[in-house]
Structure 1
Amino acid sequence: MKKFFLSLLFPVSITALISCSRSADLTANPELVKGVKTAGTVSATGLPASVNLLTDTGFQKGFNVLHPSTGALQGPLQYTSSNGSPVWNLAQWYSAASIYAATPTILSSGSYRYANNYKAVTVGPAVSADRSLVFAINGQSEFNNTYRGATDPFPVLLADLKIADPDGWLGTATPFIGAMSSVQFDIDALLQYHARNQQAGYNSAIHAIQFSCTFLIQNLRQGNPGYGKSMYFLVMLYDDRYPLPGKSVSTDLFTGKLIYDVGLAPFTGSGLTAGQWKHVGGDLLPLIKDGLNEAWNRGLLTESQNYNDYKISLFTMGWECPGLNIGTMQVKNLSLIAN
């Protein structure tokens, strides 16, 4: 089922994949420089020895909402505009209706909940009990209680952030994978609710709900014959078919890109349990290198087999819902530190 996800989620190109984020130059925008976390030392390249590849990880600036079918920018979704303009996109591909027009409900925590019949997004102050983000999706409503066919599109609810050049928030300051000694990923996740709503016609191969963290590993070496080519690296926080999601490797049928999903098992001995917070963390660098080696062994990305030509250029997180499931996930303490 995952092989359909990324091609349907991003049906046009890498440009569509990371559309509507603004170009960023660290040297020209001091606000972006504030987003670079340093360890107090500088490497031989002159770059900070420790760089947070993500910005606004508490979603205090909200989202740029993208249209479900065209991907066009509709406008901001925020609990306040005083924190500045959004840097994250909110993708809702193939949903029956956009959440952009929803009137927010102000919760007792101080957070704002935007909701319609198909999805809900909760954002709010950094001290809110509902921080940093709550995503809910309702497959029963999206599909009118009728299962989709194997090749039919399905709705997603995703936060995505462009990181690297040519127009990511961190731009050319994003280090190449070959220059890193580690990539520490951390997130706390709470599965607030899940119901499969299984009926006649259910097929676990095409109707399973998933909540993943996806990293685009991309050749960004200017002048290299493989410039722009990429693969998908996934950390699967939740897959309703498995108590503990394991490794899954496939090639996307539509784009031909490698999908290297390491699951959740490399980081913990148990999966998410509804109602319980779960910390997920670890060094992604050796796993990303394994993914690149897998791509090369399969004859993909062979224009360059050098880690020094690849960067983590995009981060995407959220639900894909090809079945009648209803799911709610809260996340906080998100970080991605390159050393």
Structure 2
Amino acid sequence: MARHPHAEAAPPARVVQAQALRRLVQALVERSGSSPIEAERVAHHLVDADLSGHDTHGVAMLPRYLENLRTGGLVANRELVVVHDHGALVTLDGQAGYGQVIGAQAMALGIERARVHGVAVLGLANSHHLGRIGAYAEQCLDAGLVSIHFVNVVTQPLVAPFGGSDARLATNPMCVGLPMGPALEPLLLDFATSRIAMGKVHEAQRQGRPLPPGAAIDAEGRPSRDPGVMLQEPRGALLPLGAHKGYGLAVACELLAGALTGGLTLHQPRAAGAIINNMLSILVDPERLGTAAHLAAQAHAFADWVKASPPTRESGVMLPGEPEAASRRRRRAEGIALDAATWAGLLAAGSVLGIEDAALLALAEGG
């Protein structure tokens, strides 16, 4: 690392209001060949990830997407394809299209089916990177539905299995969305099954920060806090969340998302830039189950009980989803801070597409 391993992160290169950042990202995606509608949907998803505090899945991903578009790993203007349709059970193919569009289309179909049948099970295969999985749980929550999502990542192996010393898995996220009644924020649990997501490695590298202790090993299997061990050859590996427990959950995500959906599992080396997601989603309508009112009452009682625990930190006890809601309120008011590397990456992407820096700067400033 160029900086001292415990140096503080550099100040942001630029603070951009959400609407201006959406216009900037939309301009880049549209110039790269997407329809205006697709570009708007991708921009909304990426900026919403930043608003939610998930910077690793926000606009910093866009240069990688555009590179995958040039190399054929991502295809613009693709639509969701229904492979098998059995009412409440549907398998789908994303045709390597923008995951932000494909995932939203899949959830819209799942919501429609859950309304009819009370439950829907979706097997989505072959989508380009889906982005922040919590966005799809939020889409279901807006419809009043419970949802559970298992995802695998067909990419370069990144995570060592428990008891192993090299990468054999990816960061395989899972997500749960649960309506908590009108008085509470919905529960939204969205996490990688590795100790940290790979985006956190890139973020640490950009900001000159060390990785958390116990997050990674180098190519020799030794503990390391240097993000470079994941970005330079020979590469190290991330470690699973919660040792054998997170490893077991990662394996379950791999098989549920990569095999049951009709997609692929990660069982051989992949090109470093490739990033295909498969996702198994289960949607449940509490109204059709007959427990919606009971769910709200019990969720409220449980939340009160848990949050009454004497605090050990200033924020006190928070339920999953509350940090994201707080981040959205704060960043809508204060703007989204982009670090120097993220801003430089957006400018570089614009240059490749023939958009001058001044034009992107004008968009960022609300012009």
TM-score (norm 1): 0.29
Q: Which structure shows the higher helix fraction?
A: 2
Task: Look at both structures and tell me which one has the larger radius of gyration over its CA atoms.
Answer: 2
> Which structure is higher in strand share?
1
